[in-house]
Structure 1
Amino acid sequence: MQLQFLGTGAGMPSKERNTSALALRLLEERGTIWLFDCGEATQHRILHTTIRPRKIEKVFITHLHGDHIFGLPGLLSSRSFLGGEDTLTLYGPKGLKEWVENTFAISNTHITYPIEYVEVQDGIVFEDEQMIVKAKELEHVIPCFGYRIEQKPLPGELLIEKARELNVPKGPLLGKLKNGFDVTLVDGTVVYSKDVTSPPKKGFVVTILGDTKYCESAIELSRNADIVVHEATFDHSTTHLAANYGHSTNIEAATIAKEAKARNLILNHISARFLAEDLQKLLIDARKVFENTFISKDFSHYLWKDEKIIEE
């Protein structure tokens, strides 16, 4: 699993940071990409990456402020031009479907692939045999959601020597055992998958939060997560402004991660008021509360591998 930040700014684009967009690259897990928010010019950012729009399977919108959605119609349109045929599912608050469809109607935009809409409410918004996505409303000035993405446990590794000891022949039976199925040999012997595989591996948990002030919902979504992506629009000296505008400070984000017992925190949605020389202080102050804190920048790339986060 990889996280690639396409836009990490707040409110409006700057020379250093575009507006909100984050790609969850699940190419190894399911051959697709999930996009979280789609601020203005997100597709321009994608042009500078290896992301292929036709590989985008799902788009999760946290809320309907412009810096999180103004790039969506253009990206959806370009996906048609680039040969996208598979269904794309849009998740977001009430009003998202109406806004997208009205934009298409007024601009006479034709989409060549099916779009499914899911109006997000608290609870499970998606589940299949691999993944489960939970949503919870945060505390912002308009309805805004955070998402918790959980990978279900992975099958254990096949213990080939044990399988050989039980006379399992080479071939498809080994594959069945590895995938959790018991098998019967030609002599009638039943070989149980649990006897020839290691215990299941824990899947990853990633929490991606929309705009929010400090709140209990953010803590619940972040509980024991491997990676939490949390906004840090303000710093500790402007805490009063953060609350007024429904946003958080770097210290509040770090406190959320600490109270949730998360493993890693990535600060996101950084205000243009912070210059390059300010960012190190934002990071240092947050690390005093929660040590495993990182600060995102456009195109920054984080890999989750072997239970560790790797910043690339």
Structure 2
Amino acid sequence: MKLTFLGTSASKPTKERNVSALALEFDQDNKWYLFDCGEATQHQLLKSYLSVSKLNTIFITHLHGDHYYGLPGLLSSKTLDDSLSTLSIYGPLGIKKFLQCSVGISEEKLGYKLDIIEFKSGDEFKFDKFSLKVLPLVHSIESFAFYIKEDDITNKINEEKLRALGIKPSALYGELKRGKRVEFNSQILEPKEFMLKPVPGRRLIIAGDNSQPEILDDYLKELDLLVHECTYTQEVYDNLPVKFMHTTAKDLGSTAQKMRVKNLIANHINPRFNKNSDMDIDVVYNEIKQKYKGKLFIANDFDVYELNRNALIKKLKHKGSLSSSSAIILD
């Protein structure tokens, strides 16, 4: 499973970070999924290895502009790139009206089927390789998190056991995988005796803007990966003249530690934390780390992370320029 961050800034773009967008890919899949689509996401894609033609579904966490203003441009460019495969968009109530207006008023002829699904809290959806549940968050408008449960692998054959009987890989393996009895050397082989235990699917949450990470409650317990906003440090938040409903590094770290989250990636970073400021990103990292003892990353634009089936996460890096043919190697 691979995650590519296309935008990691809060509220507005900066020279270092664009606004929210995150790509998710599953093993042995020829498509990918986009979570949020802030302004200029299509520009970010041009600098990545991801192809719009393989984009299958877009999920929008909430209707603040830095999370979905990039949709009209991306939808139009998909047409111009002759990518005419069906695209599905899942978003809160109002996303359909926005797209009907922004695409319709320009008399845009998309040339492909666009499915728009408006969800509410608690809705569940099933996809090729995973299921997804919509969870409520606490923000100034309705905002949501997506709890993603990858399908378990249940058809792994015990090749070692079969080879011990003198059975080499053949069509017989496929029959056993399909649950059919087979005969070999006058012996009846029962499928259940030659199947390995199911491999549990990975579990992750990709959250939108949220002031109370603890609202995710039991879904966080022993979670393989949490991707969550971290807009402020506690000191910065305490000194704001007007309080905005976002998470602090202290609260995020405390909640992740309490719920024994295995891996944490923080994003949606306030622009004040930058390389030219006396408050660089290390301030955010260190505050989370004071509370959270698990594996922690602060996402930057174009960071790529790989989560394996043992819930071990690695940051990957690009070798050479970012293009459709660029390689990715382990960092």
Amino acid at match of 1:283: Y
1:59 aligned residue: 58
**Aligned-pair distance for 1:217?**
2.9
1:17 aligned residue: 17
Contact 1:233 1:249 in 2 (8 A): yes
CA spacing shift, 1:275–1:128, aligned 2, 3 Å: closer
Determine helix, strand or coil for the equivalent of 1:123: coil
Structure 2: distance between partners of 1:222 and 1:86: 35
**Aligned-pair distance for 1:175?**
2.5
Q: How many residues in Structure 1 have an aligned counterpart in Structure 2?
A: 310
Per-residue CA shift, 1:103-130, capped at 9, x if unaligned?
A: 1111111112111122111224311463
Q: Which runs of 4+ in 1 moved over 6 A?
A: none
1:120 aligned residue: 119
Correspondences of 1:166-177 after superposition (within 5 Å): 166=165, 168=167, 170-177=169-176
2:313 aligned residue: 309
Structure 2: distance between partners of 1:129 and 1:11: 33
- After alignment, is 270-279 or 55-64 more displaced? 270-279
Structure 1: distance between partners of 2:160 and 2:19: 53
Structure 1: distance between partners of 2:180 and 2:80: 47
- After alignment, is 128-137 or 29-38 more displaced? 128-137
Amino acid at match of 1:11: S
Contact 2:34 2:59 in 1 (8 A): yes
- After alignment, is 164-173 or 105-114 more displaced? 164-173
- After alignment, is 209-218 or 289-298 more displaced? 209-218
Determine helix, strand or coil for the equivalent of 2:53: helix
CA spacing shift, 1:49–1:265, aligned 2, 3 Å: same
1:284 aligned residue: 286
Structure 2: distance between partners of 1:242 and 1:17: 25
**Aligned-pair distance for 1:301?**
0.8
Amino acid at match of 1:280: D
Contact 2:79 2:110 in 1 (8 A): yes
Q: CA RMSD in A?
A: 2.1
**Aligned-pair distance for 1:171?**
2.2
Contact 2:137 2:145 in 1 (8 A): yes
Determine helix, strand or coil for the equivalent of 2:222: coil
Determine helix, strand or coil for the equivalent of 2:19: coil
CA spacing shift, 1:83–1:279, aligned 2, 3 Å: same
Determine helix, strand or coil for the equivalent of 2:105: helix
Amino acid at match of 2:74: L
1:205 aligns with 2:208: no
Specify which structure has the higher proportion of helix. 1
Contact 2:175 2:182 in 1 (8 A): no
**Aligned-pair distance for 1:172?**
2.0
**Aligned-pair distance for 1:169?**
6.1
Contact 1:173 1:183 in 2 (8 A): no
CA spacing shift, 1:119–1:2, aligned 2, 3 Å: same
Amino acid at match of 2:285: L
Amino acid at match of 1:302: Y
Structure 2: distance between partners of 1:185 and 1:176: 11
**Aligned-pair distance for 1:220?**
3.7
Contact 1:136 1:221 in 2 (8 A): no
Determine helix, strand or coil for the equivalent of 1:149: strand
Per-residue CA shift, 1:250-293, capped at 9, x if unaligned?
A: 11111221232210111100010112252112112211211222
**Aligned-pair distance for 1:88?**
1.3
Per-residue CA shift, 1:14-36, capped at 9, x if unaligned?
A: 0000000000122x343211100
1:239 aligns with 2:242: no
1:191 aligned residue: 189
2:252 aligned residue: 253
Structure 2: distance between partners of 1:48 and 1:127: 31
**Aligned-pair distance for 1:165?**
4.5
Determine helix, strand or coil for the equivalent of 1:285: helix
Contact 2:124 2:133 in 1 (8 A): yes
Structure 1: distance between partners of 2:16 and 2:120: 34
Normalising by structure 2, report the TM-score. Answer: 0.87
Correspondences of 1:99-178 after superposition (within 5 Å): 99-128=98-127, 130-155=129-154, 157-166=156-165, 168=167, 170-177=169-176
Structure 1: distance between partners of 2:55 and 2:73: 14
2:35 aligned residue: 36
CA spacing shift, 1:140–1:154, aligned 2, 3 Å: same
Contact 1:146 1:221 in 2 (8 A): no
Amino acid at match of 2:11: G
